[in-house]
Chains A and B, each alone.
Chain A
């Protein structure tokens, strides 16, 4: 398996523009997570899905952020409009069902810079 695939790896955009980050989880994994990593706050959970359904989005910073999972093999995280403080590395991760509580496998991340 290729692992969790994120695109793009790097994104530079101007303030006010819409940004869409993409993720393809590992096939067969029931859970998908979006995390954000910044120097100030470290790694923090934004939202997670179980079987394509959003379960907890309490970590989404504000309404400018939205996430979707239209099918088991694809998820997006959208920021509209983007702001400089959104600059961070965004990670997508996936894992098998919670009964087995398997570890989360992370993608390589998308480094977002908003100027």
Chain B
């Protein structure tokens, strides 16, 4: 069975602070995909990134960066110099071969509040 744990339910920071959102996953599969989605107050789910289990290189996209460590089954997400517009709920998710990599198992999400 697959499981995604986001231990931080809510994080509050002040604008311009760096913040890291943790994600720990469990799976018996050797091949799998990891995702991050953002859910702003408007409610939609916005795709941020997908990584496959064979690619452990860290990735940076503007102020966003992701640290994938297979040894600790973690896929953490860091926002540098946070902004008020980053306020949202962030979900980590996992897909595996049992469903043909089609379906997502989500964590419970971390609510990020960035105050001015």
- Chain A interface residues (CB < 8 Å from chain B): 31, 33, 35, 42-45, 48, 50, 55-56, 89, 91, 93, 95, 98, 101-109, 111
Contact = CB atoms under 8 A, between A and B. Distances in A.
Nearest to B105: A45
A64 B14 CA distance: 46
A45 B108 CA distance: 13
Given A42-B108, A48-B99, A98-B101, 5 more contacts: A42-B106, A44-B106, A45-B104, A103-B50, A105-B47
Interface of B: 33, 35, 37, 42-47, 50, 52, 91, 95, 99-104, 106-109
16 contacts: A33-B102, A45-B103, A48-B102, A48-B103, A50-B102, A89-B43, A91-B45, A101-B33, A101-B95, A103-B35, A105-B47, A106-B45, A106-B46, A106-B47, A108-B44, A111-B43
B16 to A, nearest CB: 30
B49 to A, nearest CB: 9
A43 B106 contact: yes
Nearest to A45: B103
A20 B50 CA distance: 32
B109 to A, nearest CB: 7
Nearest to B107: A42
Given A43-B91, A56-B99, A91-B45, A104 B104 contact: yes
Contacts of A56: 99, 103
Nearest to B35: A103
A74 B34 CA distance: 28
A104 B47 contact: yes
Please indicate which of the listed interface residues A31, A55, A98, A105 has the most CB atoms of chain B within 10 Å of its own CB.
Answer: A98
